[in-house]
A and B are shown apart, each in its own frame.
Chain A
Amino acid sequence: MAPSSAAGLDRRALLRATLTAGGALLLRFPLRLEAAFAAEPPSAVPFAPNGFLRIAPDGQVTLYAPLPDMGQGTRTSLPMVVAEELDLPWSAIKVLQADLDPAAFPEGQGAGGSDSLYSGWEPARRAAATARLLLVKAAAARWGIPASACSTESAAVVHTRSARRVAYVELLGDASRATVEAAEIVPKSLDRYRLVGTRIGGVDVPAIVTGRPLYGLDFRLPEATLRASIAHAPRHGAKLLQIDEAAALAVPGVRRVVAIDGLTNPTRLRRGIAVLADTTWAALQGRRRSRHSGNRRPRRRTTARV
């Protein structure tokens, strides 16, 4: 099991769910331990920004995947954690990609360093555990019994002794008014896991095997009329010395050649040129014919050749 650093959560004592105009239980879903389970104002935005677990009045559970999945499988694995914690049938989960939203995710929405699941597991688990406790409290209050006497299974709160059962979907209003404190949240123990640890299909596999749009290159903004092909300077730190702009522009369909100055941090934007054209093929041809070249970066003996 990954080392736990749940101490950061204890700083945020109060957790509150909010009710959307549509009657859905909307919970902040922080990706980083330091993020708060902050109360959000009710929102009727139909595609909520990242960081939200949404349970709709029809029972549909949607997790907005905030991080890019480049094959790590986090669009599947993080929802699995949530489904496990909430005792939701896997078929009840719908996964949508969150929009880029610095306000909701001030720590960024990048993936790198192989830590998406490592760092996302515990927040996902606790966010789902919070949702579960709110639902359990709502059911317990309705039945006049302590929450500790209740358990959950198959998207419902149950009281085994009295054989009572209420589906989550019937508790959304009450659960949205319930409150829990961080110290009350006890995630499901690992020995009760049924879903995590099993192999289920990746959520994107049906789209992949039928060729439905999925990757960045598959989408085109409605207002975008040109395609760009970017050529970076061939060396880190190099300046662009010359390009044959006329040759690029001679390619049918090429409209413009734009110099990119780059940013100080080359991992953000490197120097180079962008060839803008009516079609991708023309942009690629224009880039090739521009015969871009760069100078050598001043040699710095910061690394040794091995």
Chain B
Amino acid sequence: MATYRLRINGEPRTVQAEPETPLLWILRDNLTLVGTKYGCGRGLCGACTVHVGGAPLRSCQLPVAAVGDQEVLTIEGLSPDGSHALQRAWIEEDVPQCGYCQAGQIMTAAALLRAKAHPSRSEIVEAMAGNLCRCGTYNRIVRAIERAATALPATPRSGARGGA
């Protein structure tokens, strides 16, 4: 067992764990942040996606010892009150069926929109390709991301129309 000082959703958290314990189980077991889901446990399905240092990562594959001082963002920290454009769009499009994969879907989508506020449909499909949904809600996921994107202000780059 070792002690790790993490930054989760903007707050310092100290946990005791075996070094190879995946971040997923630190979040769920140690910190009771159960919004991040255990799907395949092998980095294949995307249900456990969180942001680490701003990048979407599979938390089931990241040992807690490798997190270091990088900021970790989970679905619980995406917005203080569920008002993130994606969360609103997910409700408006009534995306989930069983819902189990959706936190991972939203976190992947949030990383996409932060990198590019107004992605094309094909860019959305490509960015989301690693997040599986056995209910098959893919079409609504794409629509929700498109809806959220229209609610976001243009990023400086995409706002510079005609610029190269």
Contact = CB atoms under 8 A, between A and B. Distances in A.
A205 B35 contact: no
A284 interface: yes
A183 interface: no
Contact of A214 (B28, B94, B99): B99
A95 B124 CA distance: 34
B70 to A, nearest CB: 20
A71 B36 contact: no
B135 A71 contact: yes
B22 interface: yes
B61 interface: no
A208 B102 contact: yes
Contacts of A217: 34, 37-38
Interface of B: 1, 17-18, 21-22, 25, 28-30, 33-38, 41, 74-76, 78, 82, 86-87, 90-91, 94-100, 102-103, 106, 135
A208 B37 CA distance: 11
B128 to A, nearest CB: 16
A201 B82 CA distance: 16
Contacts of A144: none
B96 A208 contact: yes
B75 to A, nearest CB: 4
A202 B94 contact: yes
A209 B68 CA distance: 28
Contacts of B102: 208-209
Nearest to B84: A209
Contacts of A212: 35
A281 B90 contact: no
A147 B85 CA distance: 49
Nearest to B38: A217
A212 B34 CA distance: 7
B75 A210 contact: yes
B82 A281 contact: no
Contacts of B98: 70-71
Contacts of B18: 252-253, 281-282
B21 A210 contact: no
Contacts of B100: 215
A70 B22 CA distance: 27
A208 B41 contact: no
Contacts of B22: 281
Given A252-B18, A280-B29, A281-B22, A211 B94 contact: no
Contacts of A213: 34
A71 B25 contact: no
B82 A206 contact: yes
A279 B25 contact: yes
Contacts of B36: 211
A205 B82 CA distance: 11
Given A73-B97, A218-B34, A211 B25 contact: no
A199 interface: yes
Contacts of B82: 206, 209-210
